[in-house]
Amino acid sequence: MNQINGLGRRGFLGTVAAVAGGMSLGWNVPAAQAQGAASAAANSAATAAGGVEVGIWAVVMPDDRVIVRIARSEMGQGTLTGLAQLVADEMDADWAKVQAEYIAPEVNQANKRAWGDMSTGGSRGIRASVEYVRKGGAAAKAMLIQAAAAQWGVPAGECSASESVITHKPSGRTLRYGQVAAAAAKLPVPDNVAVKQPSEWKIVGKGVKRLDTVEKLSGKLIYAVDLQLPEMLNASIAQCPVFGGKIGSFDAAKVMGMPGVRHVLRVGDDTIAVVADKWWQAQTALKALPIVWDEGPNANVNSASIAKHLESGLDAKEAFVGLKQGDAEAGLKGAAKVVEAVYGTPFLNHATLEPMTCTAKWDGTTIEVWVSSQNGDASLAAAAEAAGVQLANVKVNKHHLGGGFGRRGQQDYVRQAVLIAKQVPGRPVKMIWSREEDMQHGFYRPITMAKMKAGLDAQGNLVALHARLSGQSILAHLFPARLAGGADPVQFQGWNKEEFGYQAIPNILIDHAMRNTHVPVGFWRGVNHNQNAVYLECFLDEVALAAGKDPLDFRLGLMGQMPKLRAVLQAAADKAEYRKKLPAGVFRGICANYGFGSYTAAVAEVSVSKQGEVKVHRIVAATDCGYAVNPDQIAAQVEGSFVYGLSALFTSENTVEKGRIVEGNFDTYEVMKLDQMPKVETVVVPSGGFWGGVGEPTIAVAAPAVLNAIHAATGKRIRTLPLKHHDLSHA
């Protein structure tokens, strides 16, 4: 980020062509405008089309359409629509005429990042944007009213706006936004505009339809993988299957005569690309290409050796402390009863259904890329670095993502596309990873284990908890500079002072023995909350049962310091009628978690046949994200979170043999299909006063709730995932 800021303060007039609702728009965005100076949209395609910027967040068309600028990425999570709701509500725009478009990263860059952070991860897309996008909408409304008032020669205070119409109250005269936009655009952008109180919202808080659905029903939406450009070539790549290995040798002559093949290229020191007229030709030739890899020092690493490495951390003396309260060691020593258990979870690929893809074109001085990225800013920087040019010589075309889940925050595939394009100047080259390449070269959810210890007093009160994590650190792999004295604070997600829900336990120690491997790790939707919640929430069930207490009552009794977490767990329990008996053979499990600024809880209703087949009949999931911008999209994220989270519980894992990932496709990396989808009932309980995330927090509660129900059904406590390795048959 520093690099972007450092290189980017040059300020030039950016012109971009944007497509909104099938219509091509362009505009100029002077750097000064972000500081509140007058808009200067002259000499642009926008003027020709009659659309004008009113402030920087909205373009108003003569027919009153409002096109909201979006800086974050849309990968299915609904952020694009939610952000448009926030801007449109403050503008008092007619929602039926609202559309959205991406702001180009280079335009953001050239304007001192006036549109803010483009990074779309950590469930921050809306909650980290709410202040400035709402102000942007409110500023646009003030400008439109001011322009109308000036036209009428009346005080602005006598005018109001509703559904894109301005009314002069004393005279009853009206003007539409499209009629005054040109005049409004010339006014200074006000600095200090007030935003609405929640009680005044008309569009925010409603489950309005998404703005981007129609094109997804007809096959017309162009994902990065679908791009077709004149003169375009296609590339398929092979990366050294062993992480850390390099290219040894390859015999290009063997495939150069194959249909369509143009080039066989080195891409850095560990990747080979075949470039052909068509991707299928490139892929066919790549498979026929004789390659010898220099597998490097990791060629003998396997899952068993990694497990041993992690086990060494469970009782290691040295560990980073994430949370300390009282004296856990003394508390355990003095306890009447000690409960102990070891848990573990595997590496997991994000497995976006659209594989990593990027198109790049090098013309000798500038590099242009077309990409599905979770971070337009980072794609711009990565393309510049790989091409060896200044940021001003880069153009990034953002496409909707065919899934992100954290994977597309990394820019490895952008760098590769640029390195390929630089060797094929003058023609765009679209690189598509095969599924196998995608599966075996991810940034995996880190492998971790946890040794959990709890001490109960004679009355069954939980008086001491020690959670020892052992496993791989994301920051150590991706951002070592962000380690704090060697420790990875991300490892303690859900388990730090801010997020840990059970601080009524008098003695707590949570620590981490870092055990890194050669496998690249990254931010997998929900990140470390997922594993930590499995360890803690299943273990708390074990402890509750050892104390002879009901798992719900036991938890509620420890949540005094976090009343909103307690309320959301209670809301889930109430909706699920927790105190009522279930039909014979059906059992409940519960779970709660606080992460990404939101409180989540789940109740699972599960049966397990004598033969060990699990059926999840019903999930009740409650979410308190503070303010609910679009309740229907929140429900969609909660429903989807159970598919992502329960895939990880039941079947998904990546294993390592001979230094490489074993699973190559969805036949071995199994994910949930429709037949396993439980009925998910979403309870949105927005308590107000804060903005929490939505896309990730529910994943954490999916697996533990079901695992706890499985224990209730079978008496079997499963402590290592995935479930497919366990025999759940029972008497």
Partner 1 sequence: MYPLGNSAAKGAGMIKLNVNGRVHDVDAPADTPLLWVLREWLGMTGSKYGCGAGVCGACSVHIDGDVLRSCSVALGDVGAGKVVTIEGLSPDGLSHPVQKAWLAHEVPQCGYCQSGQIMAAAALLKAVPKPTDDDITAAMQNICRCGTYQRIKAAIHDAAKGGAA
By the 8 A CB rule, do 247 and 116 touch? no
State the minimum distance, in angstroms, from the CB of residue 573 to partner 1. Answer: 22
State the minimum distance, in angstroms, from the CB of residue 640 to partner 1. Answer: 3
392 binds partner 1 (CB under 8 A): no
Interface with partner 1: number of residues (CB under 8 A): 60
Q: Which is nearer to partner 1, 14 or 695 (CB)?
A: 695
Q: Which is nearer to partner 1, 355 or 589 (CB)?
A: 355
Q: Which of 40, 342, 392, 671 binds partner 1 (CB under 8 A)?
A: 671
Which element (helix H / strand E) includes 386?
helix 376-387
Tell me the window of 117-125, 141-149, 329-337, 637-645 that interacts with partner 1 (CB under 8 A). 637-645
CA angle at 313 for the pair 317 and 507, rounded to the nearest 5°: 60
By the 8 A CB rule, do 29 and 183 touch? no
Quote helix, strand, coil % in the chain, to nearest 5: 35, 25, 40
Binding mask 37-76 for partner 1 (x = CB under 8 A): --------------------------------------xx
Quote the DSSP letter at residue 391.
G
Contacts of 590 (CB under 8 A, 6+ apart): 551, 552, 555, 569, 572, 573, 578, 601, 602, 603, 604, 705, 708
Q: Within 78-137, which residues bind partner 1 (CB under 8 A)?
A: 78
State the minimum distance, in angstroms, from the CB of residue 415 to partner 1. Answer: 22
Q: Which is nearer to partner 1, 554 or 669 (CB)?
A: 669
Please state whether beta strands 367-371 and 394-398 pair in parallel, antiparallel, or not at all (unpaired).
parallel
Tell me the window of 193-201, 563-571, 589-597, 633-641 that interacts with partner 1 (CB under 8 A). 633-641
Q: Which is nearer to partner 1, 432 or 449 (CB)?
A: 432
- What's the rounded Cα separation, in Å, for the pair 325 and 329? 11
State the minimum distance, in angstroms, from the CB of residue 223 to partner 1. Answer: 6
Q: Which is nearer to partner 1, 284 or 598 (CB)?
A: 284
By the 8 A CB rule, do 374 and 122 touch? no
In the structure encoding, which two tokens stand for residue 595, read together? 């992460």
Q: Which of 196, 246, 278, 716 binds partner 1 (CB under 8 A)?
A: 278
Tell me the window of 221-229, 304-312, 321-329, 598-606 that interacts with partner 1 (CB under 8 A). 221-229
Tell me the window of 82-90, 129-137, 277-285, 512-520 that interacts with partner 1 (CB under 8 A). 277-285
Beta strands in 198-311 (DSSP E): 233-239, 246-250, 261-267, 271-276, 291-294
**Helix 699-714 / helix 528-546 crossing angle, nearest 10 deg:** 30
Tell me the window of 34-42, 363-371, 568-576, 669-677 that interacts with partner 1 (CB under 8 A). 669-677
Tell me the window of 119-127, 298-306, 493-501, 663-671 that interacts with partner 1 (CB under 8 A). 663-671
Cis upstream peptide for 722 (omega within 30°): yes
CA angle at 197 for the pair 192 and 203, rounded to the nearest 5°: 105
In the structure encoding, which two tokens stand for residue 340, read together? 């102990």
Tell me the window of 13-21, 560-568, 604-612, 635-643 that interacts with partner 1 (CB under 8 A). 635-643
Q: Which of 37, 48, 292, 353 binds partner 1 (CB under 8 A)?
A: 353
Give the type of residue at 570.
Answer: Q
Contacts of 15 (CB under 8 A, 6+ apart): 26, 27, 28, 44, 45
Please state whether beta strands 173-176 and 233-239 pair in parallel, antiparallel, or not at all (unpaired).
unpaired
By the 8 A CB rule, do 126 and 96 touch? no
Which element (helix H / strand E) includes 520?
none
Q: Within 394-413, which residues bind partner 1 (CB under 8 A)?
A: 400-405
By the 8 A CB rule, do 513 and 327 touch? no
State the minimum distance, in angstroms, from the CB of residue 207 to partner 1. Answer: 8
Q: Which is nearer to partner 1, 28 or 99 (CB)?
A: 99
Give alpha helix (H) positions in 92-191.
105-110, 130-152, 177-185
Q: Which of 132, 152, 280, 690 binds partner 1 (CB under 8 A)?
A: 280
584 binds partner 1 (CB under 8 A): no
Q: Which of 675, 688, 689, 727 binds partner 1 (CB under 8 A)?
A: 675
State the minimum distance, in angstroms, from the CB of residue 159 to partner 1. Answer: 36
Quote the DSSP letter at residue 375.
-
State the minimum distance, in angstroms, from the CB of residue 497 to partner 1. Answer: 32
Q: Which of 28, 33, 44, 77 binds partner 1 (CB under 8 A)?
A: 77
154 binds partner 1 (CB under 8 A): no
Q: Which of 246, 263, 435, 575 binds partner 1 (CB under 8 A)?
A: 435
351 binds partner 1 (CB under 8 A): yes
225 binds partner 1 (CB under 8 A): yes
Tell me the window of 146-154, 428-436, 537-545, 546-554 that interacts with partner 1 (CB under 8 A). 428-436
3-state secondary structure of 103: coil
State the minimum distance, in angstroms, from the CB of residue 639 to partner 1. Answer: 5
Q: Which of 169, 254, 337, 679 binds partner 1 (CB under 8 A)?
A: 679
Q: Within 227-246, which residues bind partner 1 (CB under 8 A)?
A: 228, 234
Q: What are phi and psi of 556, to 5 degrees?
A: -55, -35
3-state secondary structure of 253: helix
Q: Which of 149, 672, 685, 713 binds partner 1 (CB under 8 A)?
A: 672
Q: Which residue has the tokens 């080979």?
A: 272
State the minimum distance, in angstroms, from the CB of residue 349 to partner 1. Answer: 11
In the structure encoding, which two tokens stand for residue 189, read together? 């952008």
- What's the rounded Cα separation, in Å, for the pair 343 and 682? 29
In the structure encoding, which two tokens stand for residue 536, read together? 């803690």
Q: Length of the chain, please?
A: 731
Beta-bridge partners for 212: none
- Tell which phi-psi region holds residue 491, choosing left (phi > 0), alpha (psi between -120 and 50) or beta: alpha
State the minimum distance, in angstroms, from the CB of residue 389 to partner 1. Answer: 30
Q: Within 201-220, which residues bind partner 1 (CB under 8 A)?
A: 209-210, 212-220
- What's the rounded Cα separation, in Å, for the pair 87 and 96? 14
List interacting residues with partner 1 (CB under 8 A): 75-78, 209-210, 212-223, 225-226, 228, 234, 259, 278-280, 351-355, 400-405, 432, 434-435, 632-633, 636, 639-644, 665-667, 671-675, 677, 679-680
